[in-house]
Structure 1
């Protein structure tokens, strides 16, 4: 019965989003989404998201300087940096390298850099999380990922790249929305939303069990919590937060 309900509601939602499906079929939606819609949407959405998660982000990044090198310098690589929404939470004077597969975030990112003069910005690399070849092995103290692993093509591939670029004893910080408990109503709605959500929001999947991939990776220590972020009317409320040490 539940499967029938999911199918019916999914089809109803797809019908409502029919213009987007038509544009996608014609090959017009993806370039429009990447260049215009998604950067615009994220610039607005992250304001709400930071308001909802400000305390959690402050707590998450509070101990980041513990992973600085012996000279006290901290190099941070943020993958999928988007609009630079995390910059305000990073410790002063750390060196920040940014990567994102979408070059159309550059304008918002430059604005965020100008607003966060307490940081030293190195470069913006247009690259996917699965291919960080422009970043040398064991060259960064910290890697940061927030709302990124939901949309990458290969979570395990990204985590392998994270481990490659991290120095021994470095840390991977994450805050990601994930799949809900399979017995919950939230999970049912995630199933309903999933096809249309992925299409509209540039591949973002609301149903990934990202914690399992992190726990399988060869980290020496993992501090991970499941939390609830009150993002009403979205399938994104279940989250994981924490960091893993190489």
Structure 2
């Protein structure tokens, strides 16, 4: 697993993905990716991913009602809502504000909303996780973030914004793929795939050690576990999940 072998396999992968690199060079890939390819890919990938992570998500979100305000109301804000695959796990009657930097998930999002009438949808904001200025400070009980921190421009700034909009005692929920153990073959292939993967999948980074960002953030309590999601032939099996309290 030398640097030379990583560079060799990277070159081979880049050669296979040459059409994407050429489109990127011409400035055509990013708009096509955001409007067509990535929404299509995410909706179809989500079907597989949800089967693999259903039990983990049920475990992750089962204590969401514990973070309701004293009045009993539960306000959620989801960063990177995408196609709304988390809606099924939210408790009945909660109020959800959806955010995403990409506004092109509308069809999948509407389908998820129609399937999940047990929750109230307050609004949809087209904004990045690092900039939630439209959301007042201390106004939500929980922030949800799944498969998002891999692609934000700045993980620490996203966590700062999550802390800002949370009320004292509120919780930040996360389920993210992360870097594998550095001595493993999975990490080797993460390094090989990194440049092409990031280009093809709209900025998704394979080697982020997001647990370190969470440990360094100003949460009063962090409940985090490392898990593996069975996704054969994909370099995103290592995950972290849990919640952190403001």
TM normalised by structure 2 equals 0.99
**Secondary structure in 1 matching 2:104:** helix
| 1:213 match | 213
Aligned residue for 2:243, secondary structure, equals strand
User: Where in structure 1 are there 5+ consecutive unaligned residues?
Assistant: none
Q: How does 1:18-167 map to 2 (within 5 A)?
A: 18-167=18-167
Task: Please identify runs of 4+ aligned residues in structure 1 that moved more than 3 A.
Answer: none
1:26-58 CA-to-partner distances (Å, cap 9, x unmatched) read 000000000000000000000100000000000
What does residue 12 of structure 2 align with?
12
CA distance in 1, matches of 2:116, 2:210: 30
Using the TM superposition, give the Cα deviation of residue 107 of structure 1 relative to its aligned residue in structure 2, in angstroms.
2.1
| Deviation at residue 71 of structure 1 after TM alignment | 1.2
Q: Secondary structure at the match of 1:189?
A: helix
Shift of 1:111: 1.5
Alignment deviations for residues 52-93 of structure 1 (CA, whole Å, 9 cap, x no partner): 000000000000000000111100000000000000011111
SS in 1 for 2:211: helix
- Separation of aligned partners in 1, 2:130 and 2:8: 35
Instruction: After TM superposition, give the deviation of residue 139 of structure 1 in Å.
Output: 0.2
Query: Residues of 2 paired with 1:84 and 1:93: CA distance?
Result: 16
Instruction: Render the CA deviation track for 1:197-216: whole Å, top value 9, x for unaligned.
Output: 00000000011000100110
Shift of 1:238: 0.3
- 1:179-232 per-residue CA deviation (whole Å, 9 max, x = no partner) reads 001111100000000000000000000110001001100000000000000111
CA displacement 1:151-193 (0-9 Å, x = unmatched):
0000001000000000000000000000001111100000000
Say which SS state the counterpart of residue 104 (structure 1) adopts: coil
Task: Give 1:176's aligned residue.
Answer: 176
Number of matched pairs: 246
**3-state DSSP of counterpart to 2:21:** helix
Query: What is the aligned-residue RMSD (CA, Å)?
Result: 0.6
